[in-house]
Chains A and B, each alone.
Chain A
Amino acid sequence: MNPRERYAAVMHYQPRDRCPIMDFGFWDETLPIWQEQGYPAGADPDLFFGMDPQWRSCGCIMGLWPPFPGMQLVDEGETEIVQQNDGVIVQRGKFLGSIPRHLRHTLVDRESWNAFYKPRLRPDDPLRLPSGPAWEMQLAEWTRPERDFPLFIEGGSLYGVARNWFGLEGISAIMYDDRPLFEEIVETLADVVIAVLEHVLSAGIRPEAASMWEDMAYSGGPLMSPKLFKQILVPHYKRITGTLSKYGVDIVFLDCDGSIDMLAPLWLEAGVNTMFPIEVGKWKADPVEFRRRYGKDMRLMGGFDKHILMHGKDAIAREIERLAPLVEEGGYIPMPDHRVPPDVRFDDYLFYLNEAKRVWGNGLDNIKPTGRPV
């Protein structure tokens, strides 16, 4: 069973030899700090930690095209003010792993939408819909029958990117000040995604899953009301998942941090059937509880509380064992519930991985060893 077959089997509750061994990556600071604890400088994390092939995606342009020119506007020493490729002016730390602080947004109203964003979101832009020799080569790689790794395709974002462009306060106000504009933005984003999906999937690519991103929840719940979510977003999620389904892509996972309890059933209703990364947080999300609540209709990826990695080997081993029955049941690929932070000790992470490979991976020989020489 190769990794492609294994991923598909797990997500469809079919027989398989073991669970895929995957992760969500690391904070920028984590690997440099781990070098002082034994991680080899320059090592490729996937190779060193012995991960299965993961996160390989058909590169599609579903965002702004052309992007805004990214540039530094002010050098403040440890921080800098930059214009990002999405047109947002932010202050960010040069050395901190913090989330940038939004200072100014180019998108503020219908006028700025029409002037700066809508022209960058043309579904029929030929640069989104590649052709020519380079595309043919890429296509050949993705469509070859012997491809042995799971391939994902982007499924876009209907709220998250717009929230980034407006800022939270801006998009919250637009929902009420100019609801038709908010609806138009959501529809445009879906139109772009569907146009690209049609182009790529009609060329014969058959990815194992589609990946969407929103990050539209915080510790207390969603950043918009489930009622508006259902009225405005769900119909367009359905258009996207319907397009995917037409080409046989029946696993759609969505990346949303924070407490997703109120949105998860609505995503499920819209055909988004896999929750990721199931951030545990202080709201105590639990993949076992999600399965109990929604049954096998809802697949799950993630859900291993990264904070447990800081609580020592006994706690790590207990959590791995606790999740093992869900892994056995299928439709679930466990991994840390977000990037591993630098306050996790390197040897504890190695212990976690070895235990995960032993328990979730059934200790099989086809698992790559942890700590390969560089």
Chain B
Amino acid sequence: MPDLDLDQLYFAIIDGNAKAAAAVTKEAVAADVDPQTLLTDYMIPAMDEVGARFEANECFVPELLISARAMKAGMEVIRPLLLGKAVEPAGRVVVATVQGDLHDIGKNLVATMLEGGGFQIVDIGTDVSPDKLADAVQAHQPQLIALSALLTTTLPSMKRMLDRLTQDGLRAGVKVMIGGAPVTQDFADEIGADGYSDNAAGAVNLARRLMDAAA
């Protein structure tokens, strides 16, 4: 299939065109293109570009979401093929909204963007207690934890979660990144989190930096 243009996959994701993303991916698979190549050379760079545009206020939440949906459409095609290969994700991340907070919009956006960046996501939900987080860390052995809070009154929950990880001897093996409307870099420093991002696209870059630092 000499006229197969894989850049179409890149642009389909940037344009948020799920049908086109799925179609090009299927064509590529039929033409024996390595699915890992599709993921690392086209899909993840496309989401990186969308993330960069988002951070530059050149695109907004709707565009971010439809691009992520297009990437998922492509991923649906290659996921079964990747299972057969020992493909390592960029990292495994446990994501959660902290105890006392039921909101999930910010958490879901971050999870979507991290997934678009090649990370494996373990979403343990909202209103997550320190116990539940510690259990999830033991069960899933993530390299990263991403915690979200919307309310000023639930910020202390973040500190309690970090304390619990320390108490259980789990803190040293995992990097913790935090975010949410009331969260700041100062707060992250104060409670000893490893990183803070003020937006979902920035969370991907932060996660990569933390992975590099841990390597």
Q: How far is the CB of B171 from chain A (nearest CB, A)?
A: 26
CB of B104 within 8 Å of the partner chain = yes
Contacts of A341 in B (CB 8 A): 151-153
1/0 per position for B96-137, CB-CB distance to A under 8 A?
000011111110100000000000000000110000000000
Secondary structure at the B interface, as helix, strand, loop or mixed, is loop
- Can you list 30 contacts pairing A with B, beta carbon distance less than 8 Å? A29-B153, A93-B102, A93-B127, A96-B127, A98-B101, A98-B102, A98-B154, A99-B103, A99-B150, A101-B102, A101-B126, A171-B62, A172-B65, A172-B66, A176-B16, A219-B199, A223-B60, A223-B61, A223-B62, A224-B60, A224-B61, A225-B60, A228-B62, A258-B181, A262-B57, A281-B181, A282-B183, A282-B198, A341-B153, A343-B153
A228, B59: Cα distance in complex, Å: 11
Take A225-B60, A341-B152 as given contacts and tell me if A79 and B102 are in contact as well, using a CB distance cutoff of 8 Å: yes
Contacts of A224 in B (CB 8 A): 60-62
Contacts of A222 in B (CB 8 A): 60
Which 7 residue pairs of A and B lie closest in terms of their CB atoms, listed nearest first?
A172-B62, A101-B102, A98-B102, A225-B60, A172-B65, A220-B199, A99-B103
Q: Give the interface of A toward B (CB within 8 A).
A: 27, 29, 79, 91-93, 96-101, 168-169, 171-173, 175-176, 218-225, 228, 258, 262, 281-282, 307, 341-343
A218, B60: Cα distance in complex, Å: 11
Nearest opposing residue in chain A for B66, CB measure: A176
Contacts of A221 in B (CB 8 A): 57, 60
Given contacts A172-B66, A176-B16, 4 further A-B contacts (CB under 8 A): A92-B102, A172-B65, A175-B62, A224-B62
A218, B179: Cα distance in complex, Å: 13
CB of B182 within 8 Å of the partner chain = yes
CB of B69 within 8 Å of the partner chain = yes
1/0 per position for B35-75, CB-CB distance to A under 8 A?
00000000000000000000001011111011001000000
CB of B184 within 8 Å of the partner chain = yes
Nearest opposing residue in chain B for A281, CB measure: B181
B181 touches A219 (CB 8 A): yes
Contacts of B16 in A (CB 8 A): 176
Nearest opposing residue in chain B for A100, CB measure: B102
Contacts of A282 in B (CB 8 A): 181-184, 198
Take A79-B127, A221-B57 as given contacts and tell me if A101 and B151 are in contact as well, using a CB distance cutoff of 8 Å: no
